[in-house]
Chains A and B, each alone.
Chain A
Amino acid sequence: MAVVVRPAAAPPLIPGAIASFLRARRLVQRNAMVYRHTWIVIVSGFFEPLFYLLGIGYGLGTIVGTLPLPDGRIITYAAFVAPALLAQSTMNGAISETIFNVFFKLNFEKTYDAILATPLGITDIALGELMWALIRATIYAAAFVAVMLAMGLLISPWAILALPASLLASIAFCSAGLEVTTYLRTVQDFDLPFGLVIMPMFLFSGTFFPISVYPPIIQIVVQFTPLYHAIAMLRGLTIGLVDWTMLVHVGYLVVFAAIGMFVARRRLATKLVK
């Protein structure tokens, strides 16, 4: 009888985390392959925060004028708004991938079922999608930081940390996005996170004016949102107001990201493994 036998795959010699990273990068390659056909979608995502910057930062800025800082310096309104839009641009990238794209792959296209028949597992898929979303969010962040640099909106040496800090913010947004997606069952379910969480968060997290204008109760609510912390962190760096509260923002985002990843991984497993 003719028999086909090949040597078994080599036993894993590499530590688990690295092996998982190596497998997870396949998801990144898969998404990159998809975007070879539709790269314009990625490019277009960069423009929304840019338009806000031009329209509101400079447009509205001419009416608002300049803002005094606690340390006596005076900055333009554009310099105040720009770091918030940097945070928003990373959030946009994160959401497009981890909410929209993952939702369709998970529920309609059954992409992950096919991948789970290969040596990749749930953790690899979750990590891979996270990595890809991070790449996209970081491209937006880097492009926006470049715009800020060109327009003279990085007014402090601390701004050198803006990009690593936006990477941290992206991790938090991507993990949260993945987590939220595992709870969405239908396209109608999108209305809830978008209408009641993401949009208000974008408007009220200190994006266009300091949260001190709100009554205390609202201020407290706002301080629970990840976008608030991302904006406060990035703004502190780009305008050069750095104090111990930065550690609170970083700590919040780290914990928020960790919870998001943990829940997303668990939820994906219950959705995909039956």
Chain B
Amino acid sequence: MLDGRPALGRMIPALTAGTISAPMTTTPDVLIRARALTKQFGALTAVDGVDFDVHVGEAFGFLGPNGAGKTSTMRMIACSSPMSSGELSVVGMNPTKQGAQIKARLGVVPQIDNLDAELTVLENLLMYARYFDIPGESARARAAELLDFVQLTDRANDQVEPLSGGMKRRLTIARALINEPELILLDEPTTGLDPQARHLVWDRLYRLKSRGVTLVITTHYMDEAEQLCDRLVVMDHAKIVAEGSPRELIERYSTREVLELRLTDATRASLNGRLDSVAERVEDLPDRILLYAADGEQALEKIHAQQIPIESALVRRSTLEDVFLRLTGRTLIE
């Protein structure tokens, strides 16, 4: 509170006119607006004419497999990478012309941590604060607060390199918060982390969200997208193939339940489409068969009735993984 800014836990719940200084190309509650946004690397089109809006206060996700174009999209939003064509507005400003002003208001967690290896944990935050012109005293207060927030206070004076992957990730998140951004871009925030480290990151992101910070997250984990995102787009081969809340997407593109069957190769060879009548849709995967039905148990009973020998069967709810499979014919993580 030293510089009159609200502390992390006490941010002001208000959106007043005049908070967005530059020419308004968006309605006030749209923080990011992209139309036909395209990124080309030579002949390769990494992002192919995508449209999306991110609203104030929401957690917005890009879900897609490796190479879908998520990072390229994020880097354009972060003003780190110039767009090839299309329109993009971030916090009401134009990244091509007002990069520095936009970046002053963003927090960026890149896919690969790029902490300053020549500085200590605390120095990383203090130095980042300086890049944002945050005066020394409030920078120190803020850094202490953030180290506490990401549970790294006891490592403040350590070098960065010996930290675990989860700790580095948390420090990168803390660093992204140093300028009290209204919008945070997180590129695969938990990839490569063990489950415990992952949950800690998720928990911190929930807290930010509940404080009204807008989050944009990319992930190829469907559980992460389901847990964190209010709304998401599914990306594949540089394009957006679907958009909605996790629930809407599941309702639209999948059934309520899924029956996962494992059969012997011999059984599979002799099925001759006998499962088709049991479910609304059948997906043949190399290691298992997915039967999409409103009631998985009922489908399983029908299969038992047909006396098909089953190695194992599992009934579960539909997830975004199923949505992705339906939309692209492929699984998210090969």
A1-34 contacts to B (CB < 8 Å): 1-9, 11, 26, 29-30, 33-34
Contacts of A3 in B (CB 8 A): 13-15, 56-57, 182, 212
Shortest CB-to-CB span from B182 to chain A, Å, is 5
Q: CB-nearest residue of chain B relative to A7? A: B19
Asked if B165 is an interface residue, CB under 8 A from chain A, the answer is: no
- The distance in angstroms between the C-alpha atoms of A7 and B179, with both chains bound, is 12
**A9-B15 Cα distance, complex, nearest whole Å:** 16
Q: What interface size band does chain B fall in?
A: 35 or more
Contacts of B126 in A (CB 8 A): 33
A9 to B20, CA, bound (A): 10
Which of the residues A6, A7, A113, A274 comes within 8 Å of B114, measured between beta carbons?
Answer: A113
Closest to B124 in A: A114
Task: Answer whether A274 and B81 are a contact pair too, CB < 8 Å, given A30-B127, A118-B128, A119-B131.
Answer: yes
> Whole-angstrom distance between the alpha carbons of A109 and B130 in the complex?
19
Q: Mark A101-133, 1 if CB is under 8 A from B, else 0.
A: 000000001110111111111000000000000
**B182 in contact with A121 (CB, 8 Å):** no
In the assembled complex, how far is the CB of residue B48 from the closest CB belonging to chain A, in whole angstroms? 17
For residue B100, CB closer than 8 A to chain A, the reply is yes
Residues of A within 8 A of B130 (CB): 26, 29-30
Of B57, B116, B131, the contact of A2 (CB 8 Å cutoff): B57
Contact call B127/A29, Cβ cutoff below 8 A? yes
Chain A residues within 8 Å of B5, by CB: 6
Q: How many chain-A residues does the 8 Å CB contact rule pick out?
A: 30
Question: A-B pairs with CB below 8 Å: how many?
Answer: 117
Which one of B101-109, B284-292, B300-308, B314-322 is at the interface?
Answer: B101-109
Whether a CB of chain A sits under 8 angstroms from the CB of B210 is yes
Known A3-B212, A4-B213; contact A121-B13, beta-carbon cutoff 8 A: no
Interfacial chain B residues near A37, Cβ < 8 Å: 118
Q: Does A192 contact B (CB under 8 A)?
A: no
Which residues of B are at the interface with A, using a C-beta cutoff of 8 A? 5-6, 11-16, 18-22, 41, 56-57, 78, 80-82, 91, 99-101, 103-106, 108, 110, 112, 114-119, 123, 126-128, 130-133, 180, 182, 210-213
With A5-B14, A118-B131, A118-B132 already in contact, 15 other A-B pairs whose C-beta atoms are closer than 8 Å = A1-B13, A2-B57, A4-B212, A6-B5, A6-B105, A6-B182, A8-B101, A26-B131, A33-B119, A113-B80, A114-B110, A117-B103, A119-B103, A119-B132, A273-B82
